[in-house]
Amino acid sequence: MKYLFLFNLVLLSCFGHAQQDGFIRDFGKKWANAMAYTLEVAELMPENHYDFKPTPEEMTFKEQLLHMMGNVSWLSTAYLNGQKSNTDFKKKEYTKLQVIEIIREEFRLSTLAVAQLPAAALEEEVKFFAGPMNKRQIVALLNDHMTHHRGQLLVYLRLQEIKPPQYRGW
């Protein structure tokens, strides 16, 4: 009985690590699609509309993109031990091409941060302003926040009579 218990404990432990490794692998695929989709959205908007915002209270198209990338950078560095970029996310003078390069770089850095996480680190708890979270939840938040703001950008495109790209998920 004791050996059966130990065998099951080891088996469950290995299964848990396999699930965590699968989570990181699955995130990598999803994140690559998120990058391609975000770049497609950013490229569709003409540069002369990068300062467009639907209402005075909203961020401009460019500010939305920079906010998204600032959040990616913050979550990746503050909680996932990623490499910090040199981007000033508050700067308003970026050109469309510069913003697109920022998107590429922040996705690259965040992809590395997640890929380099040991699977066991996903369950490590971190202090977050909304309460304690584990790193797996932070990784999920990267995607959730991105999706939220990218959805707003799709509306910005429609308001400029630009058909958004077809959604791609996994």
The mean pLDDT of 126-143, rounded to a whole number, is 94
Q: How far apart are CA 57 and CA 157, in angstroms?
A: 18
The closest of 27, 12, 18, 3 to 135, measured between CA atoms, is: 27
Residue 80 tokens, joined? 């996932």
Average of pLDDT values for 135-153? Answer: 96
Q: At what angle do helices 135-159 and 2-44 cross, to 10 degrees?
A: 20
Q: Looking at the predicted structure, is the pLDDT value of residue 159 above 70?
A: yes
Would you place residue 167 in the very low, low, confident or very high pLDDT band (cuts 50, 70, 90)?
confident
Q: What is the pLDDT of residues 12-51, one digit of tens each?
A: 444 344 445 789 999 999 999 999 999 999 999 999 999 9
What 56-63 contacts at long range (C-beta under 8 Å, 24+ apart), as own/partner pairs, is 58/152, 61/153, 61/156, 62/92, 62/94, 62/96, 62/99, 63/92
Q: Kindly report the pTM of this predicted structure.
A: 0.85
pLDDT above 90 covers a percentage of the chain that reads 79
Question: Which fold does the domain 25-51+72-170 belong to in CATH?
Answer: Four Helix Bundle (Hemerythrin (Met), subunit A) (1.20.120)
Taking a C-beta distance cutoff of 8 angstroms, is the pair 107, 35 a contact?
yes
pLDDT tens by residue, 83-96: 998 999 999 899 99
Q: Name the residue ranges covered by the structural domains of the chain.
A: 25-51+72-170
